[in-house]
Amino acid sequence: MTLSQIATINAGYPFRGAIAEKATSAILAVQMRDTSESGGIHWHTCTATTPTGKREPQWLQEGDILIAARGNRYYAVLVKDIPPNTVALAAPQFYVVRTLAKALLPEFLMWQLNQPPCQRYLDKNSEGTSSKSIRASVLADLPIIVPSLEKQRTILALNALILKERKAAQALIHNGEQMLASIANDLFTQA
């Protein structure tokens, strides 16, 4: 099964020129700098703006997936927790993927898109040398596996557990480094 068989794929909104800030606007533009693979969309850094392109905006919906169309890694982030009383659209550096199949959880699709098999496919079929990008047709042909909903939920639960353990381990390492830095400072103070 390919991605285009289970989801719609649209390019981000084509702003004319740079995205201009309009502080009073309730429209948020999500740009690459507002996202990270580990943290999703950082709504507080998104630019309040007004659409300037000719195309009718495709407002983001909860459960949409943004895929970075340019760069060295084509990570996917899930659209969730859109701030109240606002609407949002994706910058043209993203593809917006919206699942059509009820048998596929958006969270699972996002997880799958970030896994090595999908990333290898996208990297292998990307274009450019210094500035890589992927075409919509390449994304449309991306092979996708749709296991049972039960298996999707099990995988997501395991992934959440691993992320929690990674966060705890990073906190322990940070605390250990601070303790060692304090010991080093004490040594130099006593010398």
Q: For 72-93, how does the pLDDT look when each residue is reduced to its tens digit (9 = 90+)?
A: 889 999 999 999 999 999 999 9
Report the alpha-carbon distance of residue 99 to residue 110 in Å, rounded.
10
* Higher-scoring residue by pLDDT: 183, 54: 183
Which band of pLDDT confidence, cut at 50, 70 and 90, is reported for residue 96? very high
The two beta strands, 47-48 and 40-41, are unpaired
pTM of the model: 0.86
CB 93, CB 19: distance < 8 Å: no
Question: Rounded mean pLDDT of 110-122?
Answer: 95
The reported pLDDT for the residue numbered 25 is 92
Report the alpha-carbon distance of residue 158 to residue 171 in Å, rounded.
20
* Tokens 């004490």, located at residue: 186
Q: For 120-166, how does the pLDDT look when each residue is reduced to its tens digit (9 = 90+)?
A: 999 999 998 888 999 999 999 999 999 999 999 999 999 999 999 99
Question: Rounded mean pLDDT of 48-71?
Answer: 92
Is the pLDDT score of 191 beyond 80?
Answer: no
Q: Which helix (H) or strand (E) holds 123?
A: helix 116-124
Q: Could you tell me which residues come within 8 angstroms of residue 184 by beta carbon, excluding any fewer than 6 positions away?
A: none
